[in-house]
Amino acid sequence: MLKTLLCLCLLISPSLLFADEIDLFIMGGQSNMQGWRSDAAQYPQNGISLDADIPFYWEAVDYASSKGEWETMGPQAGHFPKGHFGPEVTFARQLKRSHLHPAIFKYSFGSSNLRDVWKSPGKGGLYDKMIQQLQRAIALLKSQGHQVNIRAFIWIQGESDADTDKLATDYYYNLRRLLHHIRFNIVRNPHLPILLGVDEQHPRVVLRPMVVDAQKKLAAEDPNIIFTSMRGLEKSDVTHLTAKGVIEHGKRLYNSYIKLTYLPPQLENLWKKPPL
């Protein structure tokens, strides 16, 4: 009998073994969100046993993806013989240790600015394509019987918007439009926690700090938005983080999320939103 039950368990799709209620985190942005120079030969081993319980849906545009399906947390194909990874790994593991049931949706494209590549909502740009994939990912989880709670949007992007004075000046308005749309039209939660970040030490960002100023201004205007610094993280070149830098970046994102969302236990029920 025990042997029969074991065989049945092995036949069940891994996605059906995840928690019934899932805390979904949406992660998007440029190459440092993707983990462009983060060699999976240095994939973090501390907490690796948690990965099997963390659903992961990802797309590195024009490069590789999870092929429109949910996998479990792990390295992504490409860049290095063993693949690469982004800040989602240590971020999600810390969430798991905090007794959440995290699932990570990640959509990234290197060297992409908001105006011309991601574009405004409804203009057929990368943002619209990300939302299409997000809706597919959520539908898959729901079809498997899961309740999906979207907990936060994490956006690591902006270096390419420092290419010109015009792009940098318009970045505040372009980013505000994107954040407003995902909150009000997609998640339908005007208080959705949002984490922002950009490489403040990138040469173009140093030249045109309006991009950093824009993210900080949005955070100052909204108590549910927080700016996360990337200063001091180890790099392999002028902008791309090493595996060590990416590991630390994920921890910083977790700390920022907790700082933004922590409530005393007696207020927890008031904070929770109905599942999608």
Is the pLDDT at 242 greater than 50? The verdict is yes
Nearest one of 150, 156, 153, 127 to 215, comparing CA atoms: 156
Reported as type and span, the H/E element at residue 149 is strand 147-156
Is the pLDDT at 140 greater than 60? The verdict is yes
Label residues 142-173 b or e (16+ Cβ within 10 Å = b): eebebebbbbbbbbbbbbbbbbeeebbebbbe
For residue range 53-88, what is the model confidence (pLDDT) as tens digits?
A: 999 999 999 989 999 999 999 999 988 999 999 999
**CATH H superfamily, domain 19-263:** SGNH hydrolase (3.40.50.1110)
Give the per-residue pLDDT at 79.
82
For residue range 210-238, what is the model confidence (pLDDT) as tens digits?
A: 999 999 999 999 999 999 999 999 999 99
Taking residues 166-183, what's their average pLDDT?
98
Tokens 């907990």 map to which residue? 151
Collapsing DSSP states into helix, strand and coil, what is residue 96?
A: helix
Tokens of 56: 């992961």
pLDDT band, very low/low/confident/very high, at 262 (cuts 50, 70, 90): confident
Ranges of each domain in the chain: 19-263
Reported as type and span, the H/E element at residue 114 is none
Give the per-residue pLDDT at 263.
56
